[in-house]
Chain A
């Protein structure tokens, strides 16, 4: 290409990318007014918080490991051994990492960097290296910590072996991330990488079911040697070099998309908004299709239109359908792994799996919360809309409950009683999903409370608990049944009553917590009394 035709002045050589980054950072620091002391304070605070969190997690993992019974001498005819479960969870972790990498880039430049840096004719590699270093470091730490906790919880090897697991896990996560970055530089669409990760995640679930049914057993997993860790380090170093060479091959549109998603996701995490996080991670990962309109043939009026729309939303979101299917696996596997058959593990698996499944079914309600005009388009009261929004989650959770409670019935005996209990409890899951979807965002105008993880607005726990509170309280008969390993008719009747209460609570459009409402009612009664 020839020299530019229009020159705003005398033009010399284009500066190095590093000088652009330094200028931006220096100007920012000057204006931010933060001193070295402030920075050291932030670093100290972050290290302490991380150490506390790490200590708590390690302690929990150790307690989990110590609570597991010794592996039975004879292999069970069906079921998973702990080492095999650990292998499946590792594979699932790889799937999650690939899926996240695809959704976030993994290399991206968002907002101001995209608008003001990417158009410069400087060496783009220099502009993007810090971003690559950041995501690589995060992947390494997450991989090391995740694998270490998994190993401590399920395998319980000596300290030296645990360290090798952690190091290899960290390096493995780095390799996976850098391969995703290479694929990004080859121009592969983000959604394809995210889909590959989702398939690996789904495949891990299918493998678990297959192994459990086939009665495949590993007594132990082969421990990684230092030679293996060395090879992983070499591969990671090679990939670092390759990715660095190819950074300038990543097109700007891919960098912008990834950066935009990462920025939106980070904002959601900082604001403690899990719904926004879900939306951010779902942006741009749906397959491009020719625009088509669902005819909503089932729609005959406002009621059926709303339900049909929610069905269409769920059907179009492969991620949520997969999440629903995989979350049914957790309790099924808990009853299939001999060492996880204890009531506490089964209860935890049903709780976590149920929360994950119900969360996946309420996307229509979340859209309604994000854009209230959607709910107001129909000639229905706000409470009626909330009740109708529970229809699709209830149908989906009914299918989930049939699978899970059939497994519970096989585990505890009397499958028929368990199925009836599961069906009776289905409305609670739906009510919890809709209540969580419509919960208000944390009010950052309220006084902040200092916590080990940073300043949080007061009342944030109450906001985040909206939804799970119904699950914990209104599914008490289910929890009692699991603890007693018996689903009695009395529990079924009580469950039916609590399900009705849960639907009533979730239909409410009040954004105050129960304590706030009780407090306001008491204040109003006091004022009336004084009058």
Chain B
């Protein structure tokens, strides 16, 4: 039975100030699958993700999520798409646990405190539950952002370099989490420089370039990442 298409881009052109950052992007992302955007720094990975979640107006082409054009003003869109970017901003007086609870409860999760405690445990933040995020290390704040991405319902999970500032153990946890996400029927779109993560999680990879984007297998993408100079 064909899987429902969660996200589809057709000749999507993204950029700033009228200048595209990469060649037009086309992809189809079905439910239960993961697509990785790979490429060197500045190749447009984050820009494409921002267009997918509606934070950037495309310069051309089209991007649809769950059969409708991207419009983050729609509550249904916001209920379906969870994103973890690099938004390092927190309410100065809300604790780590309260941030997670806010996300869960704000999406209508009824047992929000129970889900919060589970996520705190999964992402190694239980001991920091009552602390303020500004007192955490950058890696711990990253874990908080990731936990928030999983604290709410979603059909599409968008991640921008989720492996950043994570130690090896947390990367393993993240990898398993993303595999579970696919198994549960969610779609994953991630930008990454982590060859192991891409190889383990992605079903396909899209290598972004100025002139021509290239659809690769996860193994080929991982090899391309490994070959890219640090």
Contact = CB atoms under 8 A, between A and B. Distances in A.
B184 A6 contact: yes
In order of increasing CB-CB distance, the 7 nearest A-B pairs are A28-B93, A288-B17, A4-B153, A120-B106, A121-B79, A115-B87, A6-B186
18 contacts: A1-B66, A2-B4, A5-B187, A8-B152, A9-B112, A28-B91, A28-B92, A31-B95, A32-B93, A112-B91, A116-B148, A119-B78, A120-B107, A121-B76, A252-B73, A253-B55, A256-B55, A289-B18
B179 interface: no
Nearest to B6: A5
A69 interface: no
A290 interface: yes
- Give the most central of B68, B80, B82, B107: most A CB within 10 Å: B107
A123 interface: yes
A7 B56 contact: no
Contact of B186 (A5, A29, A111): A5
Interface in A78-115: 111-112, 114-115
A370 to B, nearest CB: 21
Contacts of B67: 1
A289 B99 contact: no
Place the interface of chain A in its size category.
35 or more
Place the interface of chain B in its size category.
35 or more
Contacts of B167: none
B230 interface: no
- Give the most central of A31, A248, A290: most B CB within 10 Å: A31
Contacts of A4: 79-80, 153-155
Interface string B144-177: 0000101111110100000000000000000000
Contacts of B109: 8-12
A123 B75 CA distance: 7
A139 to B, nearest CB: 25
Nearest to A6: B186
B91 to A, nearest CB: 4
- Give the most central of A29, A120, A122: most B CB within 10 Å: A120
A252 B78 CA distance: 11
Interface string A14-26: 1100001001100
A122 B106 CA distance: 7
- Taking chain B's interface residues, is the majority helix, strand, or loop, or is none over half, making it mixed? loop
A158 interface: no
Contacts of B157: 6
A27 interface: yes
Interface of A: 1-15, 20, 23-24, 27-32, 111-112, 114-117, 119-124, 248-253, 256, 288-291
B89 interface: yes
Given A24-B94, A116-B103, 11 more contacts: A5-B185, A6-B155, A8-B115, A8-B150, A27-B94, A28-B91, A111-B89, A115-B90, A119-B83, A249-B73, A252-B73
- Give the most central of A1, A6, A28: most B CB within 10 Å: A6
B18 A288 contact: yes
B116 to A, nearest CB: 10
Contacts of A2: 4, 66, 155
A470 B72 CA distance: 53
B40 interface: no
Contacts of A27: 91, 93-95, 98
Contact of A14 (B16, B75, B151): B75
B124 interface: no
Given A288-B17, A291-B17, A31 B111 contact: no
B11 interface: no
A114 B87 contact: yes
A453 B90 CA distance: 29
Contacts of A23: 102, 105
Contacts of B132: 31
A29 B55 CA distance: 31
Nearest to A189: B57
Contacts of B82: 119
A121 to B, nearest CB: 4
Contact of B110 (A12, A28, A253): A12
B108 A11 contact: yes
A288 B154 contact: no
A268 B4 CA distance: 50
A25 to B, nearest CB: 9
Contacts of A13: 108
Given A6-B185, A10-B109, A115 B89 contact: yes
A251 B102 CA distance: 22
A522 to B, nearest CB: 44
Nearest to A31: B93
B223 interface: no
B1 interface: no
B222 interface: no
- Give the most central of B56, B67, B93: most A CB within 10 Å: B93
Contacts of A6: 153-155, 157, 181, 184-186
A3 B99 CA distance: 24
Nearest to A253: B55
A1 B93 contact: no
Contacts of B76: 1, 121
B34 to A, nearest CB: 13
B104 interface: yes
A68 to B, nearest CB: 49
Contacts of A10: 109-111
Interface in B18-68: 18-19, 31, 54-57, 66-68
Nearest to A122: B106
Given A1-B77, A5-B154, A24 B17 contact: no
Contact of A289 (B17, B185, B187): B17
A2 B77 CA distance: 10
A112 B102 contact: no
Contacts of A249: 73
Nearest to B56: A253
A11 B152 CA distance: 9
A8 to B, nearest CB: 5
B114 interface: yes
Contacts of B181: 6
A29 B105 CA distance: 19
Contacts of B102: 20, 23-24, 116
B123 to A, nearest CB: 13
A252 B106 contact: no
B90 A121 contact: no
B53 to A, nearest CB: 9
A120 B78 contact: yes
Nearest to A291: B19
Contact of A252 (B16, B55, B151, B184): B55
B188 to A, nearest CB: 10
